[in-house]
Chain A
């Protein structure tokens, strides 16, 4: 199995701006998932995109998947201070593996 790798490692933006995080992986996948982690707590599932999908929306979240480039992006529009968290991508497999995450800070 393999894991996703997120970039950037850290991102700091002002409230109201959009935040874009990227994830790259190395082998073929069935799906890719994005999770959020608030400090000191467990991860929360945000969205899953299947390999035959190119884009998916959920509220202020937009996820894209480019299987030819083996990459995905997570866009958070109109960011809020409450979006401050670490964001992780994970690719499917019996042992779901996670990258190191992107630490997003949204300044009020």
Chain B
């Protein structure tokens, strides 16, 4: 079956504009994660969704960042008033259930460049 799909694969935007990044998780996966990765760096946790529970937003770097997950499936990460330091690869991952032994399946990410 299809893996985790992210769109767009690349996004160039001007400073101050809003952007929306989309993640389609694997069908049936109840847990969904967003991460940010700057060039040559590790993964920075942003937000986690599990089923109908309230999301864990503890990793969002500022109130310019928000995310939704509609119908327990597709998720959208929105960055308002983008800044140059927001430039990074944004990775989405999903897992079958949020038990502690489920591996994460990653998309290929969206490379965001803020000019």
Contacts and interface: CB of A to CB of B under 8 A. Distances in A.
A31 B101 contact: yes
Nearest to B31: A94
A98 B37 CA distance: 11
A41 B48 CA distance: 20
Interface string B89-106: 101010000101101111
B58 A95 contact: yes
A20 B56 CA distance: 34
Contacts of B111: 40
A45 B93 CA distance: 11
Contact of A94 (B48, B89, B106): B48
A40 B91 CA distance: 11
A50 interface: yes
Interface string B18-41: 000000000000000101000011
Contacts of A98: 35, 42-43, 45
A35 B37 CA distance: 15
Contact of B101 (A48, A100, A103): A48
B107 A42 contact: yes
Interface of B: 4, 33, 35, 40-43, 45, 48, 50, 56, 58-59, 89, 91, 93, 98, 100-101, 103-109, 111
Give the top 4 A-B pairs by smallest Cβ distance, nearest first: A42-B106, A100-B42, A45-B103, A92-B100
Interface of A: 30-31, 33, 35, 40-45, 48, 50, 88, 90, 92-101, 103
